[in-house]
Amino acid sequence: MGKVAFVFPGQGSQFVGMGQALADQSAAARRVFEEADEALGFSLSQLCYEGPEEDLKLTANTQPAILTTSIAVLAALKEKQPDFKPAFVAGHSLGEYSALVAAEALAFADAVKTVRSRGQFMEEAVPAGQGAMAAVLNMDRAALHAVCEEVTASGHPVQLANLNSPGQIVISGSAEGVKLAGEQAKAAGAKRVLPLNVSGPFHSSLMQPAADKLQAVLAGVTVQNAKVPVVANVSAKPVEEAASIVDSLITQVCAPVLWEDSVQWMVEQGVTTFVEIGPGKVLAGLIKKIASSETTIISVQDMDSLTELLNGGVLC
């Protein structure tokens, strides 16, 4: 029987109402939301359940909200299936913190406070309007990297930020750099270039101030060795030692998210089932484009999808 990996979504998966029905139905999930409210000193649960959407979309709120909802879903799962351990865990950008909580490397209260700070630092790193991100569709990775290098050399920094799936790469950097690289990518045969509605140039060198501040925060957080290998965004390889985990979280702020490579690596290790834990189905969509059609991909975000997972027998 193939191995199971748990994967956790990142920014962009949020929606008003997330986690509410689950918290009503699961005491374990409800406790996670209560712990988040207590750790942060305001009602994050109310923001998740009721919005308003414009507040939920602020990076400093989105990051702890998605982490909390993901860990609430995980808690509900563990309540029903306490002994199951996945072969690997991984998360997309912010989702890496959820993966580390799942691997017992980070305490949830520490994680939720850290990602709240991370979101604030990322918002503050670049003045509004000076940075940008865009998704480039159907362009070879090496060719797009060459375009970014050329534009950066001309004085407008831009780089590969999210290597999400075959045919979907996000670029990030200065507003002018992203615009120029997008134009060159189209001229070189990219199918489409879609500007992203984000508050900053995430996973680019312009995020260095955020990385420096995050390093100071993580220095005060207890990080344990992971009990399950965590496939890191920065290397697409597992990290388990506490020091390596901290390094990868700091590097991750300015480095590309190697999601396609991470999924590919897990498939090569024998993973045949991916369980996306948290709001939305973004990762399931990406994994479908990376893994073979025989791979089982399940998104769990409420009691119905959790029941479906448990009845499916993949966690035996």
Any idea of the CA torsion for 142, 199, 98, 42, to the nearest 10 degrees? 170
198 CB-near residues (< 8 Å, 6+ apart): 11, 132, 133
- Please say if 203 is a catalytic residue: yes
The torsion angle over the Cα atoms of residues 28, 87, 165 and 308, rounded to 10 degrees, is -50
Strand order in the sheet with 238-239: 238-239, 230-231, 88-91, 3-8, 271-277, 296-300
User: Do the Cβ atoms of 203 and 255 come closer than 8 Å?
Assistant: yes
Q: Which is the catalytic residue, given 93, 199, 299, 305?
A: 93
* Options 203, 204, 244, 248, the catalytic residue: 203
Of 136, 176, 127, the C-alpha closest to 156 is: 176
Residue 212 C-beta-side C-alpha neighbours within 13 Å: 7
The answer to whether 154 is a known catalytic residue is no
Q: Cβ distance 201 to 126 under 8 Å?
A: yes
Q: So which residues are the catalytic ones?
A: 93, 203
